Amino acid sequence: MPNILSLVETNRDFAAPGSKFVTLAGNPNSGKTSLFNALTGAYQHVGNYPGVTVERKEAKRHFRDLDLRVMDLPGTYSLATNSLEERVARDVLVTEHPDVTVSVVDSSNLERNLYLTVQLLELGLPVVVALNMVDVAKSRGTVVDTAKLSALLRSPVVTTVARRAKGVEDLLEAIRERSIFPAPSEFRVDYGPDIEREIERLDGLLAMADPGIEPMARRGLAIALLEGIASERTEDFGRGILDAAGDAVDRIERLHGDPMDILIAERRHGAAMGLARQTVTTSAERRRDLTDLIDRVLVNRVLGLPIFLGTMYAVFFFTFSVADAPMGWIESAFGRIGNLVGGIWPAGSDSLLRSLIVDGVIGGVGGVLVFLPNIVLLFLAISLLEDSGYMARAAFVMDRVMKSVGLHGKSFIPMLLGFGCSIPAIMATRTIESRRARLTTMLVIPLMSCSARLPIYALIIPAFFATQWRASVLWIMYLIGVALAMVSAWLLRKTLFAGGDLPFLMELPPYRLPTMRSVMQHMAERSWLYVRKAGTIILGISIVMWALATFPRLDPETAAAGEPTVADASAEAGNDLAARQLAHSLVGRIGHAMEPVIAPMGFDWRIGTALVGAFAAKEVFVAQLGIVYSVESPEDTGAAHLREQLQADYTPLVGFCIMLFALIASPCMATVAVIRRESGSWGWAAFQFFGLTVLAWIVTILVFQIGTLLNLGT
């Protein structure tokens, strides 16, 4: 017992200084992350595990004479290597040798949570059990005998209420003691005579192969071999031991008629059940609790869908409408900063540096930060939904719909957010555990007509369609996007991401009141991640886009040669100059060069140029088209003028095709940057970019050619 020893050894506190590595392991919804936050405070490092998108959270904590490095492992129900999270958790535990592992346990649901604790002990790791949420357990009339549990598990047990930072000092003290006396617990699950015999046999072989392994860890390794969990550890021991394990599994399965992993899991559950029965006393009758009552309404057969849709509307409204004003402020603030900085140069100067700083850098930073209100509010909403427990219900309600295209219920919310903006929508896919489902969702999100497409629709529709048709055409654009997204998702799931997926199986956690602290922390974490990771990429691309629109420059003489026809129309002359500059630039040249490719869609170089510019942000299409046509401020007063020009040059069919292409083709650079960041590879970003562009090209050509044949809107 570490406690007794510690009395003897307190004087030797100084003998165990230095830094210790502590990991937190626990089920999802066990309050693990809250405990991590309570242990370490706000200064955390959030990164990814190499090669995967599972988050790796670490923070430092100084306690008495120890420097603790604390890591929050992904929430898992077991340490079998079924999912990415489980593999990551097991790898850290087995290969990084934490000095102490805290097993975070939901006291109100002891039996199921102890199933993981048992596995942690089996790895031969020094464990401290944190009996979390004792307040919830108590309110349900459940009391856990801590001393008895500690004696049975032969490990220290501490009670905590992480949400209120209670018991944190005790836990730190227990961690400290455990790290000084790191001998693994002697606790073992009794697997029954047949399996125990095989464990012993493998244990003997392992001891011969590597006499250095600690006995409890060796037993754990033998059990892992029987479970068929392959790790780099087991590979080291060579074929002999793997074959012996295979034979053992054959023998047991023949004897018992059940697969080995089931037999082992049953025994472990039996052990967890036994531990819970011996230590839990329930005084109150088990009654329907608040969660049951709330669920009767929220996932009710009749009310469930309307309530869900209402909630989604609220999230949507909150994320995009409330963000509108701050986004406007950010835009105008950057406009003003641009003017201010631009004012340093004499009026009318066409200094390159000025243009780079004002249009490239300041414009680029503004382009990054303008999404920030969206992202902050979105993650505020998502944190509230997740922490309260409604997120799982949302997936529960919508799964039937998403299943039909091979997606998960959790894909619905990100896709819905795609109507507002792809950036937060793609970031919201983080809640989807299955990587295949998550990638599929990310890849089709840009097909949802985001709010930046609206200015394009708003320019084109009134130019070509009679008043009574306008609403329908707009509606059709949105529907085409949704239909294409569904079809693409289905196709991706049939081909690239076929099969091999995790089951839907998901816990519906009890409803809880979210705490301010965790919601704020989550929000700050995500927003900062966006600025730091995606922001730098977006800034880089904006400067490249600036360069493309600026170089090569018209030389002054050529510029002057464009003679202003009317004396007082200097503004028009300026616009004309801008138009010729754009046509002369790389963007314009690309637009020209694209003409043969885009001609089958009915587009000319002007539209091509505007489309290239639209890569910076979809709504830039309107501005660029305005420049090409030398129209001042096409967004508002000039819009009517620009529409006249468009009417003169194009047919309604071409107008429709422009919208169609803008809807489907190449997502904006911010989307590309976020896909790169969230998928972990440029490959997926490129795949999406080219895939959607090719899809747009094919669809638009089909529509234009068939439309022309049928004489529709020509």
Q: Which residues bind another protein (CB under 8 A)?
A: 77-78, 80, 82, 108-109, 111-112, 115, 250, 253-254, 256-257, 259, 261-262, 265-266, 269, 291, 295, 299-302, 304-305, 392, 395-397, 399-401, 403, 409, 502-510
- The distance of closest approach from Cβ of residue 416 to another protein in the complex, given in angstroms and rounded to an integer, is 16
Tell me whether strands 66-72 and 18-26 are parallel, antiparallel or unpaired: parallel
- The distance of closest approach from Cβ of residue 600 to another protein in the complex, given in angstroms and rounded to an integer, is 42
**Beta-ladder partners of 489:** none
**Beta-ladder partners of 481:** none
- The distance of closest approach from Cβ of residue 403 to another protein in the complex, given in angstroms and rounded to an integer, is 7
Amino acid at 269: H
DSSP-assigned letter for residue 410 = G
The helix/strand/coil state of 60 is strand
Q: Which is nearer to another protein, 111 or 196 (CB)?
A: 111
Q: Which is nearer to another protein, 77 or 621 (CB)?
A: 77
- The distance of closest approach from Cβ of residue 296 to another protein in the complex, given in angstroms and rounded to an integer, is 9
What is the spatial distance between Cα 563 and Cα 115, in angstroms, rounded to a whole number? Answer: 83
What is the spatial distance between Cα 359 and Cα 488, in angstroms, rounded to a whole number? Answer: 37
Phi/psi at 544 (5° precision): -60, -45
What is the spatial distance between Cα 274 and Cα 111, in angstroms, rounded to a whole number? Answer: 8
Tell me whether strands 66-72 and 55-63 are parallel, antiparallel or unpaired: antiparallel
Amino acid at 639: A
Q: Which is nearer to another protein, 139 or 300 (CB)?
A: 300
- The distance of closest approach from Cβ of residue 256 to another protein in the complex, given in angstroms and rounded to an integer, is 8
Burial class (CB in 10 A: 0-12, 13-18, 19+), 16: middle
Burial class (CB in 10 A: 0-12, 13-18, 19+), 44: middle
Give the length of the chain. 714
- The distance of closest approach from Cβ of residue 151 to another protein in the complex, given in angstroms and rounded to an integer, is 23
- The distance of closest approach from Cβ of residue 109 to another protein in the complex, given in angstroms and rounded to an integer, is 5
- The distance of closest approach from Cβ of residue 83 to another protein in the complex, given in angstroms and rounded to an integer, is 8
Q: Are 60 and 69 in contact (CB under 8 A)?
A: yes
- The distance of closest approach from Cβ of residue 652 to another protein in the complex, given in angstroms and rounded to an integer, is 39
Q: Which is nearer to another protein, 300 or 637 (CB)?
A: 300
Q: Which is nearer to another protein, 115 or 689 (CB)?
A: 115
Per-residue CA distances from 593 to 455, 599, 605, 608, 666 (Å): 26, 11, 8, 9, 18
- The distance of closest approach from Cβ of residue 135 to another protein in the complex, given in angstroms and rounded to an integer, is 17
**Beta-ladder partners of 68:** 20, 61
- The distance of closest approach from Cβ of residue 74 to another protein in the complex, given in angstroms and rounded to an integer, is 14
What is the spatial distance between Cα 709 and Cα 479, in angstroms, rounded to a whole number? Answer: 24
Q: Which is nearer to another protein, 307 or 372 (CB)?
A: 307
Q: Which is nearer to another protein, 239 or 400 (CB)?
A: 400
What is the spatial distance between Cα 349 and Cα 336, in angstroms, rounded to a whole number? Answer: 18
- The distance of closest approach from Cβ of residue 267 to another protein in the complex, given in angstroms and rounded to an integer, is 10
Name the strand (E) or helix (H) holding 610.
Answer: helix 605-613
Name the strand (E) or helix (H) holding 121.
Answer: helix 110-122
Q: Which is nearer to another protein, 80 or 601 (CB)?
A: 80
Please write down the long-range contacts of 487-490, taking CB distance under 8 Å and 24 or more positions apart: 487/405, 488/443, 488/444, 488/447, 488/695, 489/405, 489/406, 489/407, 489/411, 489/440, 489/441, 489/444, 490/405, 490/406
Q: Which is nearer to another protein, 78 or 581 (CB)?
A: 78
Q: Which is nearer to another protein, 243 or 250 (CB)?
A: 250
Q: Which is nearer to another protein, 366 or 509 (CB)?
A: 509
- The distance of closest approach from Cβ of residue 397 to another protein in the complex, given in angstroms and rounded to an integer, is 6
Q: Which is nearer to another protein, 498 or 524 (CB)?
A: 498
- The distance of closest approach from Cβ of residue 605 to another protein in the complex, given in angstroms and rounded to an integer, is 49
Per-residue CA distances from 674 to 12, 379, 532 (Å): 52, 15, 11
Q: Hey, how many other C-beta atoms are within 10 angstroms of the C-beta on 654?
A: 23
- The distance of closest approach from Cβ of residue 454 to another protein in the complex, given in angstroms and rounded to an integer, is 31
- Report which of 364, 447, 440, 488 is spatially closest to residue 666, judged by C-alpha positions: 447
Tokens of 415: 């896709």
What is the spatial distance between Cα 289 and Cα 349, in angstroms, rounded to a whole number? Answer: 72
Q: Which is nearer to another protein, 140 or 580 (CB)?
A: 140
The helix/strand/coil state of 129 is strand
Q: Which is nearer to another protein, 50 or 257 (CB)?
A: 257
Q: Which is nearer to another protein, 268 or 526 (CB)?
A: 268
Q: Which is nearer to another protein, 358 or 397 (CB)?
A: 397
Per-residue CA distances from 417 to 174, 315, 377, 602 (Å): 45, 9, 12, 32
Q: Are 538 and 356 in contact (CB under 8 A)?
A: no
- The distance of closest approach from Cβ of residue 292 to another protein in the complex, given in angstroms and rounded to an integer, is 8
